[in-house]
Structure 1
Amino acid sequence: MTSRTEELATSVSENLAKLQDYLKANNLPDLSIEDDVPLQFQFEPDFASPRDAAIIARRELLALLSAVSRFNIASSFPDGHDTATYDELAERCRLPEPEVRRIVRALLPSYIFQEKGNGIVAHTAASKKLARNHLMSALRFTDAMQKWPGSEEPNQTGYNLANGTEDHAFAHMAKFPGRSERFAAAMALFSKGPGNSPKWLLENYPWGHIGCETIVDVGGSSGEYSIPIAQAYPDLKCIVQELPEVITKASPTLPSDLKERVSFMAHDFFTEQPVKGANVYLLRWVLHDWSDKYAIRILRALVPALESGSKIVLHEHILPEPGEAPTLQERTLRIFDTGMRELTNGKAREVRDWEALLASADPCFKIEKIGTPRGSDLGIIEVEWKS
């Protein structure tokens, strides 16, 4: 039996072949976005109408999704149920039944909701995601920009508007049993992708030249990076700093043979760094959660502990300049960047952004090297404190 994925792939292939045949038959150039390529094929009747219809349909779909988000239609099903009548939905989201019905039925062809007959609406995988607010923050992204222009506050985002809360996204998630755990699980799964493997940091930073020194893993979660570093370099000691609730869960999972060299310490990275004179302070995937205003605070909190020559290693996304990376990779990184804007007003940063951020935090932060190893999703920014 042919899967839906295979059907879609076949459809794409067949339609691209038809388009290519059309271009050749009419002596038209291949598809391109370059300015000097003639665009007359865009206005040919055989292709203009489908193209325009697709654009209009996409805009209409976004408008409908925005309505679902704004009126909480997807999350208005009775508790514990995946089905509801239009009357039940209307009562819960406080809209007239005809308005709810027209919005939901307009989304049925896009596989968002389904109707079982007799006016019974059922969830689909897509509408369940809407109900869990995975997409609502994106739909309220521009609303947040208009409401709080230029804001760097973590509680003035699309997430806040979508969820009707003044709490920071992570604080808000913590109020709902299971939500923080699901988010953490999703991030853990993302982090375990090949491009996020600890091996890239292990193989592309000279840990072996440090000697018998201490690494402070600031915001190091449960030690996903400190543990492999300690296993690979027996002379190194690692201190993993995290919030108390994280440490409580992480400490018992530490391999017994590392307990003499890997330890956990409760610490809020917005407060002064308590471990003075460590050789390396590692911040792995920390600063992307925060706007420049708060990332600067995190960096400045390190300063009282630093000595001339101290190293700060940032392991983060480094956004490429347009055209520097394969299109799919660049698209993924840019979507991640806007996703952080929607969630916390955080950001992924280009080279110039990293340079500006560190200079703003303190002129004594000097970038020694910056780049992304081939095969890695995260870049390595080697910084030295030069007082």
Structure 2
Amino acid sequence: MAVSQLRALAAEITKLADSFAGSLEEKGLPEASFNVDSPMKHEGITAEMFITRQTLCDKLSDMWYLVQGPSESIYNYVHNVVPDAACLNVLNHFNFWAAVPVEGSASYSEIAERVSLPIDVATRMIQHATTLRLFEEVSASQVKHTSRSAALARQPGLQALVSSVLDITGAPMMAMTSALEKYSKGKSELAQDLSETAFALFHSTGPFGKKYTNSWEYLENDGEGERRGWRQAKFVEFMQYLNEIFCIESIVVDAYDWQGAGKSTVVDVGGSAGHDSILLARRFPDLRMIVQDMPMVKPVFEADLPGDVRDRVSFVAHDMYQPQNTQADIYMLKLILHDYSEKESAKILRTLTPALRPGNRVLVIEYIGKVDEGEADVDAKKDSLPLSIRQMGTATDLRMMAMFNAKERPAESYRGIFKAADERYDVVNIKADPLTFFAVIEAVWRG
């Protein structure tokens, strides 16, 4: 008689769950629960514990698929995935999180009044949310938080992440079929022009009364009156939250020998509200930091700039598609080129050249969601990573396709991008860390 795959999976799940729980116990770390007093995340877990946890997630997904069977698992996924995302997006947009006290409860009528929506709409949204363990019904009329909804109530950065990922990229991703039909079908490669993305196609007819070619225009200009640019402010929060969850601060600090750079001027291209520049200015008092981003970011930058670095951190409004007019010793682009095709990335690097002098450095800090495709052990590398980790990379890869006709790239591919930008760039160092999924690419301008 064949061994039951369900029983074998259950045994693996039990073993992995026991291992992860035991490791948490050994390190004195609490387990997560659905109660509002649950820890928001597993702080302090080791790399080994992280891999164990993600492998457990893989096995749980396999169990979910196999218990239902192939057809029903697909039907159930398709039936739920868009309503799930839409529900979360509505709850987040109207801030249902603040409508319920974290340590108490609220009635449906109270919630509806606080979010300014009809009670029928508020009730139906929350009733679906409870199936996702977002909120919990205390009675027929009262609702309280679970740990998942409380996490959103307590963390504005997490709210900004939901807004940036779902509200901005969700609809364009659903337009990918039309964009691929229109611009890429029958061709040997994906269209490269930013005007031929799913995002541009979705916004080309102005579904909300305005037309946008790219998401940066959308972030900068969406909204009327005082609300104009509200998405940009959310995006700044989102970037700050990414710094937190990916521990990017340590990556930025270790990206270069900042101490050895001495009295250098650093331009943080697309530096948002200046989080990284403030960090570097505090750690390395000889550095002078200049943050460059769109004009709408400046008020956020000025509001958040601490007094102790005001003499060494400044903001210059700049469109990175325009020629660079600020001279510096080092130019840093963090999580910028990741959003663009190779052609557009090269164009952005080319805009720096008017300001560059021999010996200037350009540092590119990027999330790397793919291993190097040319390496002989690529299959072994892929197989060594849990599917749930690989899915993070492939999900981002598809999002980049919809928004920018870009893709996840291995670190080594940046050599070709710098070369395409200008032959005078010399890539002198590439540091890729598989545990952080980030890479630092350092190029010198030879002039």
Residue 225 of structure 1, CA deviation: 0.9
| Correspondence 1:329 to 2:402 | no
Deviation at residue 134 of structure 1 after TM alignment: 5.4
CA distance in 2, matches of 1:285, 1:109: 35
Counterparts in 2 of 1:202 and 1:356: CA distance versus 1, 3 Å: same
Aligned: 1:343 with 2:343: no
User: Which residue of structure 1 lines up, in the alignment, with residue 69 of structure 2?
Assistant: 50
| Structure-2 residue corresponding to 1:220 | 271
CA distance in 2, matches of 1:131, 1:264: 29
Q: Residue 355 of structure 1: CA displacement?
A: 2.0
Are residue 296 (structure 1) and residue 315 (structure 2) matched? Answer: no
Report the count of equivalent residues. 315
Q: Does residue 1:190 correspond to 2:249, yes or no?
A: no
Match of residue 105 from structure 2? none
Tell me how far 1:302 sits from its aligned partner: 0.8
Question: Who is 1:81 aligned against?
Answer: 117
Native 8 Å contact 2:236 2:273 kept in 1: no
Alignment partners' CA distance in 2, 1:380 and 1:209: 17
- Does 2:426 align with 1:366? yes
- Report the Cα offset of residue 274 of structure 1: 1.4
Instruction: Tell me the secondary structure at the aligned position of residue 225 of structure 1.
Output: helix
Give the letter aligned to residue 178 of structure 2. D
Gaps of 5+ in 1: 1-13, 22-46, 69-74, 86-106, 112-124
The one-character-per-residue Cα deviations of 1:178-210 (angstroms, maximum 9, x if unpaired) are: 44433443343223214323x222124211111
Q: 2:170 aligns with which of 131, 135, 138?
A: 135
CA contact (8 A) 1:154 1:169 kept: no
Show CA shifts across 1:272-327 (max 9, x none).
Answer: 21123x22111111112222332222111111211222110001112332525633
Residues 116-142 of structure 1: CA distance to partner in whole angstroms, max 9, x if unpaired? xxxxxxxxx9xx989946533322223
Selected match of 1:380 from 420, 435, 440 = 440
Q: Tell me the amino acid that sits aligned with residue 231 of structure 1.
A: R
Deviation per residue, 1:149-178 (Å, 9 max, x gap): 233333543334277364022323432344
Q: Which has the higher helix share?
A: 2
Cα distance change on mapping 1:187 and 1:131 into 2, 3 Å: closer
Once the two structures are TM-superposed, the CA of residue 250 in structure 1 deviates from its matched residue by 0.9
Contact persistence 2:264–2:329 (CA under 8 A): yes
Give how far 1:236 is off. 1.5
Distance 1:49 1:246 in 2: 48
Asked if 1 retains the 8 angstrom alpha-carbon contact of 2:429 and 2:441, the reply is yes
RMSD: 4.3
Which of the residues 202, 213, 218 maps onto 1:172?
218
2 CA distance for matches of 1:366 and 1:358?
A: 8
Pairwise CA distance, 1:341 = 2.0
Q: Map 1:90-109 onto structure 2 (within 5 A).
A: none
User: Pairwise mapping of residues 252-271 of structure 1 onto structure 2 (< 5 A)?
Assistant: 252-271=303-322
Please tell me whether the aligned partners of residues 226 and 238 of structure 1 are also in contact (alpha carbons under 8 angstroms): yes
Match of 1:205 in 2: 256
| Contact 1:290/1:347 (<8 A) preserved | yes
Post-superposition Cα deviations, 1:84-107, rounded to whole Å, max 9, x if no partner, equal 69xxxxxxxxxxxxxxxxxxxxx9
User: Cα 1:306–1:183, aligned 2, differ >3 Å: closer, same or farther?
Assistant: closer
Quick one: structure 1 residues 262 and 157, their matched pair in 2 at CA, closer, same or farther if it must change by over 3 Å? same
Q: Percent identity?
A: 24
C-alpha deviations, 1:40-73, integer Å up to 9, x for none? xxxxxxx7982343235445667x87xx9xxxxx
Alignment pair present for 1:357 and 2:417: yes
- Residues 319-356 of structure 1: CA deviation (Å, up to 9, x unaligned): 33252563333321221122122223343321343122
State the secondary structure of the residue aligned to 1:212. Answer: coil
Matching residue of 2:301: 250
Over 3 Å counting, the alpha-carbon distance change for 1:382 and 1:108 in structure 2 is closer
TM-score by length of 2: 0.59
SS at match of 2:251: helix
Cα 1:255–1:184 shift into 2, 3 Å:
closer
318, 321, 324: which one aligns with 1:273: 324
CA drift at 1:19: 4.8
Separation in structure 2 between the aligned mates of residue 203 and residue 308 of structure 1, nearest angstrom? 24
- 1:152 to 2:204 alignment: no
